[in-house]
Amino acid sequence: MTALSPSPASLVDGFGRRIDYLRISVTDRCDLRCRYCMAEKMTFLPRKDVLTLEEIAIMADRFIARGVRKIRLTGGEPLVRRDFGDLAHRIGRHLSTGALDELTLTTNGTRLAEHTDMLVRAGIRRINVSLDSLDPDIYRHITRGGDLAGTLAAMDVARRAGLAIKINAVALRGLNDQGFLDMLRWCDAQGHDLTLIETMPLGAIDEDRSDRYLPLSKAVEQIEQAHPLAPLPYRSGGPARYFQPQGMGIRLGLITPLSNNFCAGCNRMRLTCEGKIFMCLGHEDHIDLKAAFREGGADAIDALLDRALIRKPLAHEFAISDGQTGGQTQRHMSVTGG
């Protein structure tokens, strides 16, 4: 493989934060319609507006050359993209050269079984699976039709193949808020770390997010009655703070963008499937790499990365309380990438 050409400077924003983590949404499409993420009837991007595999790979190359050490492939559901395996292998080649430390994936698990071997061959060793309930009826309601048994079976295939699995569960008041302890104990039995996430105001959906918002302090109260939590220094590269539940061999992560935001240590940028860099999940401000690349080629990318660094904000402006939703973006999470 040809070595990446060096760039003049690593990615450091105006607040001195080093950006070494890139999340790439490879598609805005998904085969589920989770209520906190999407409207039931979605209008997806025309295929002509979506980056090609080659364009994503070249943009990833430039980020890696500028110091990105970890890339997470997301969506939508990334495994619905027909050429996903080719892209994963193309980016995964940087693992063998030492230019990239880790390539990971976030998935809803519906297509995991059929793609597990490909993921392993591409160099992916760790994945996040979105799973908000172990109750089949609640899971079906949240996902608007998802099959829990199929997803659990697919995860078992991935676990037996050696993939480390972390479960991501969005805390939803009145839906899954009585199941956190059961979920934690199931994860411990399976050997999966668990991360709980507060719902975020991203895109217009069919429900009022303020009705479903649950600060994770409520989940922690429920868990600590049975398993006191001890803080851990472990970091996965993302925003979660990790804890050791007493008597368990797994880690519990908490992502609290609303009740206790993590912006001061942000090390991330996001590249959407239509080639836009969003410097912050909670802001609409972006840089259009696709237009620049299609007009000026790879050389046009670095200057725009420098511009993005200058414009990266200090913090998001998310807020949910008493029936009010603040800082809401117009784009859905599936467009930006989870």
pTM here is: 0.88
Task: Please report the pLDDT score of residue 310 as a whole number.
Answer: 85
The residue range of the domain holding 278 is: 21-336
Please indicate whether residue 215 or residue 264 has the higher confidence score (pLDDT): 215
Binding-site residues for S-adenosyl-L-methionine sit at 36, 76, 130, 200
Checking if the pLDDT of 5 tops 60, the result is no
Checking if the pLDDT of 199 tops 90, the result is no
The torsion of the CA quartet 201, 202, 203, 209, rounded to 10 degrees, works out to -30
In this structure, what DSSP letter does residue 81 have? S
Would residue 1 count as lying in a domain? no
Would residue 187 count as lying in a domain? yes
Checking if the pLDDT of 291 tops 50, the result is yes
Binding-site residues for GTP sit at 23, 72, 106, 166, 268-270
Binding-site residues sit at 23, 30, 34, 36-37, 72, 76, 106, 130, 166, 200, 263, 266, 268-270, 280
Task: Please report the pLDDT score of residue 336 as a whole number.
Answer: 60
Would residue 225 count as lying in a domain? yes
Average pLDDT over residues 107-112: 98
To the nearest 10 degrees (0 to 180), the angle between helices 84-97 and 53-65 is 20
Would residue 257 count as lying in a domain? yes
Would residue 13 count as lying in a domain? no
Task: Please report the pLDDT score of residue 238 as a whole number.
Answer: 77
Would residue 10 count as lying in a domain? no
Average pLDDT over residues 24-48: 91
141-175 per-residue burial string, b: 16 or more CB within 10 A, e: under 16? bbbeebebeebbebbebbeeeebebbbbbbbbeeb
Task: Please report the pLDDT score of residue 213 as a whole number.
Answer: 86
Would residue 14 count as lying in a domain? no
Confidence of residue 40 (pLDDT cuts 50, 70, 90): confident
Checking if the pLDDT of 303 tops 90, the result is no
Please indicate whether residue 39 or residue 232 has the higher confidence score (pLDDT): 232
Would residue 281 count as lying in a domain? yes
Domain total for the chain? 1
Confidence of residue 9 (pLDDT cuts 50, 70, 90): confident
Task: Please report the pLDDT score of residue 334 as a whole number.
Answer: 55
In the chain, the percentage of residues whose pLDDT exceeds 90 is 65
Average pLDDT over residues 311-329: 56
Average pLDDT over residues 241-250: 97
Beta bridge partners of 268: 21
CATH of the domain at 248: 3.20.20.70
Checking if the pLDDT of 168 tops 50, the result is yes
Quickly list H helices, 161-286: 180-190, 209-212, 216-224
Binding-site residues for [4Fe-4S] cluster sit at 30, 34, 37, 263, 266, 280
